[in-house]
Structure 1
């Protein structure tokens, strides 16, 4: 379990002043815990966040009794990416916690090696589990996907002994679909336009020296008397 030292702070204390000293303002709360303002060394919190994320138990020390918590929400600076504030959710001892756990797809599907397509429909599943058995992630074994149509459902993902799946058991996590090469239709042949005056097939060419008959002149209108 990861341990993180914190200090209680006055909620009215300037958060900007804390950040200038490299300290991050935070808060913890829970079903049986009042919201309590705390402060944490910024570098230590950054290391814990990268290791634990939101799915690994973090034990808080230095603010009364030790508390088993989950990092519930983190706010980041939009430019530097540094942590500006963090919430910690205090778990009830002896009670399971309902939480969404990210999936990690392990290995390569044999069907993918044959050129077919892997479709990942879910990237996390919800479980209810004892805090001591909280997994950082759940693994999905891709080596089982050998043929087109093969799939893995949520119920086929291995869980910790105390865990109960809350996501629908039959929900498809990942599947294989056939790769079909798109056929490109060839454009229709373009028929060249007929050139005026061009000799048509089967017509005799005019004799050498012969004149082409002039076009018939339009009829003259009768003069009115």
Structure 2
């Protein structure tokens, strides 16, 4: 889960809303220091606690645990892009949810990595994209909406992290229209770590029956060629014997 180009795109009027561009209040979560590590951490999970580790630049890693239900509430609000104020032994620390591990069968959270940030140093993280509205090229022309990404890499101070970017796809009226990174209306305190021409979303024209038929024919031809090669190789091997 960690975080851890098309040129010459047409100009279109675009409304992209940045939600919470200036982070004023971090979401609070309590944690406790834990001594249980390795297999012993399973005891915590049986008590509805999640083993976690907190670390940061020039900060020693510390083993902690958080309440399962409280973390779920916080994660639903913060995701991996909003600041969380982690209270550990009476100390309040600003962190990002850096990584979570899930149980393969149940999907329950089994471990969390918290990254402690320095409020005066920029961080790089992924901001989720929320697509809103309806694309006329889909509704009226029968096209297919193509989303090339659902999050975008940014760099800024922790206090300037946006919660998300809302992208209005109602501007996609034709198959020539695209929404590119350069169309994002962002704070001058936030740097997008992608080329401006990178396409975020577009609408692809539907395939005609003729093109689908041609595609099927090509696939059949390719399969026949492969089958022919295999038969030829088998025949060659038989001759060698």
TM (norm. structure 1) is 0.75
Higher helix share: 2
Runs of 4+ residues over 4 Å off in structure 1: none
Give the Å deviation of 1:137.
Answer: 1.9
Q: Counterpart of 1:117?
A: 144
Query: Do residues 177 (structure 1) and 222 (structure 2) align?
Result: no
Match for residue 217 of structure 1? none
Q: 1:185 to 1:90 in 2, by over 3 A?
A: closer
RMSD, aligned α-carbons: 2.2
Report SS of the residue matched to 1:75. strand
Which consecutive residues of structure 1, in runs of 5 or more, have no partner in the other structure?
187-225
The residue correspondences of 1:30-69 to structure 2 (distance < 5 A) are: 30-63=56-89, 65-69=91-95
2:187 aligned residue (143, 149, 160): 160
Matched, 1:22 2:48: yes
Q: Give the Cα separation in 1 of the matches to 2:34 and 2:196.
A: 45
Structure 2: runs of 5+ lacking an equivalent: 1-25, 214-241
Q: 1:1-225 to 2 correspondence within 5 Å?
A: 1-10=26-35, 12=37, 14-63=40-89, 65-114=91-140, 115-183=142-210
Give a deviation string over 1:9-66, Cα, whole Å, max 9, x none: 2254821121222221111000021100111112211221222221111110124632
Q: Report SS of the residue matched to 1:167.
A: coil
The DSSP-based 3-state class of the residue aligned with 1:49 is: helix
For these two proteins, the number of residue pairs brought into alignment is 186
When the two structures are superposed, what TM-score results if normalisation uses the length of structure 2?
0.70
